[in-house]
Amino acid sequence: MTKTILRALAGETLPTPPIWMMRQAGRYLPEYRATRAQAGDFLSLCYNPELAAEVTLQPIRRYGFDAAILFADILLIPQALGADLWFVTGEGPRLSTVTSADDLKKLKPATDIHYHLSPVYETVRILSRELPSETTLIGFAGAPWTVATYMIAGQGTPDQGPAHALKNENREVFVALLDLITDATINYMSAQIEAGAEVVKIFDSWAGSLSAQDFQDFAIAPAIKIIAALKAKHPGVPIIAFPRGAGEAYVGLHAATGADCVALDDGVTAEWAAKHVQVDGCIQGNLKSSHMVTGGDALVSETRRIVDAFKGGPHIFNLGHGITPDADPENVQLMIDTVREAR
């Protein structure tokens, strides 16, 4: 029997939606924390295929999710392109910045990323061998706009201000950087598929800060290019698009991008999305991740409400954003039990 997530992505309405969870391999799990300590630091964990595969498998063993998502980070592409990357404990990533034509010239061509990223492809190969036969393997990358915001600012920012400034003040450099990231993303995701990823997802975590024409030019247009290139090379491999914060721009996104599934954040209601987005194909989402911290009756009732709202079409149950480190592992089990009992 075809895997449940692949059935949903193909447009099938299932009696029970398949489940996985963004950042399901992460700091809320004691076994993850132990493995990360063994690796030494976050980047060492990303580049150690055996340990990266282990933390990817941990939530599958514990919860029996319907999919595993490759353990990696969206900022491995900038590093593969030649940017310096390091993580500051308690603060997050830091990168060397790209804000000028000279900075851009220091970066490598999009075709030169594979040697640096070869450990990631090995992780995918290990997972494709070791995952249970019913579990779908999802690969991923950050969307060009989101990755660019980190490369331009040198770190995460609350409003992506430095990227907006470069976009407005030196559009030639900004567009060239976006094009480079787009081409590298195509190469990276294609290699993940060749290594065994059955589905890939594009995370545009900061799409919501783009408005009007900029959303079309810098969120939609790169997604179109990436999805078309992957579909041409790997027909039949489903693609999930996640432009977080898109709001009403979620409407028509399947057709606009060519994505097989649109992942929803928790800024839209399931009832609205069922009416306006799910009519065009599979959707994924969209329980608030805060319920993984607070649990209780509110978690159960919200989970049931989302399952009920989306029961008329193809749906993959997920959170509206990644699970947070302060989540209670028992609340994850409660969510899964509630979804699977809701049929």
Task: Using alpha carbons, select from 37, 141, 41 the residue that is nearest to residue 87.
Answer: 41
Catalytic residue among 32, 36, 47, 63: 36
Residue 284, amino acid: Q
* Phi/psi of residue 293, nearest 5 degrees: -90, -45
Token representation of residue 330? 């028992």
Active site residue 73: yes
Residue 23 among the catalytic residues: yes
Contacts of 104 (CB under 8 A, 6+ apart): 98, 173, 176, 177, 180
217, exposed or middle or buried, with CB in 10 Å at 0-12, 13-18, 19+?
middle
Active site residue 32: no
Of 28, 47, 63, 73, which residue is the catalytic one?
A: 73
In the beta sheet, which residues pair with residue 261? 240, 282
Amino acid at 224: I
**What does the H/E/C string look like for 215-239?**
HHHHHHHHHHHHHHHHHHHCCCCCE
Active-site residue, 61 included: no
Pairing of strands 92-95, 85-88: antiparallel
Q: Residue 94 catalytic?
A: no
State the residue for tokens 């201000």: 161
CA–CA–CA angle 280, 203, 64 (5° rounding): 85
DSSP summary character for residue 131? S
CA distance 7 to 1: 10
Which residue among 23, 63, 250, 265 is the active-site one? Answer: 23
Specify the length of the chain in residues. Answer: 343
**Which residue in the list 63, 121, 150, 188 is annotated as catalytic?**
150
Q: How many CA atoms lie within 13 A of 316 on its CB side?
A: 31
What residues act catalytically? 23, 27, 36, 73, 150
